[in-house]
Structure 1
């Protein structure tokens, strides 16, 4: 089968969480943690992002094979493994850097994202606050933020924050997992 490689860029709170989720999904070839959507000059650093003043969001860039998993399925997994109804926060993580955001790469992705947001909204009691915007410049995060969960499974944040997200992924999307 010929691969149809596509890219999605999403932010759903801490990038360690969203990275860990998508590394488990069939058809996902690569997940890179990074930053997008800010207004600070030059390449941002994690320290600048954590200040909440840079305007950047913690995001992941997902390289996936669309002949195995669709962009729509990627978005449904994304929207159901984080809370898209809390503005600028996920759990205890607070600030604009933790906002829920879908950065589309082209008009087709924009249209699919709009459809998914419309279809999924009735499943939530509160209004979805996920930002939908054209992809700005993506900056890869520092090396210590790549594969964070895989390399730090015993760390407290991984146990208390990431593990429940992975449990939710297994419960809701078992058919999409590697």
Structure 2
């Protein structure tokens, strides 16, 4: 029985187990043109994709990575410079508020503060007052005296009143 099935499966072509050939399909001219348009569109997409792939292959990824690393280093250096400038400006302001007699003492105080690597909390230099106090003890002449300025008045105690003296002079001169 297996031999009978085998004989039925083989077509008249004489080839064993050959598949049946389907009749050839015919297309109208409109269908043919539509299929040609689809084929052209798919070919265009394939060409565009190949161009994109080639452009990615042509890219020098290592140089792009190196360029990004260079810019990152430049950014970090600029940020460090900005922070250092901000710190220096705040130190200058702090030193100016201390009332040093001259620029030499002010520069010395600034270098002392920088060597301690003190940090700012907002506008307050943490530990700055201790450094200033130590400098005031070791070099008391470095800072301007903190005595209040004397207040001068027109007349001395027990003296005459200015308005009364003015009136008397005007009368003597005959102006009043």
Q: What is the TM-score when the length of structure 1 is the normalising length?
A: 0.23
Q: Which has the higher strand share?
A: 1
Q: Which has the higher helix share?
A: 2
Structure exhibiting the larger radius of gyration computed from Cα positions:
2
Query: Which of the pair has the greater relative contact order for Cα pairs under 8 Å at 6+ separation?
Result: 1
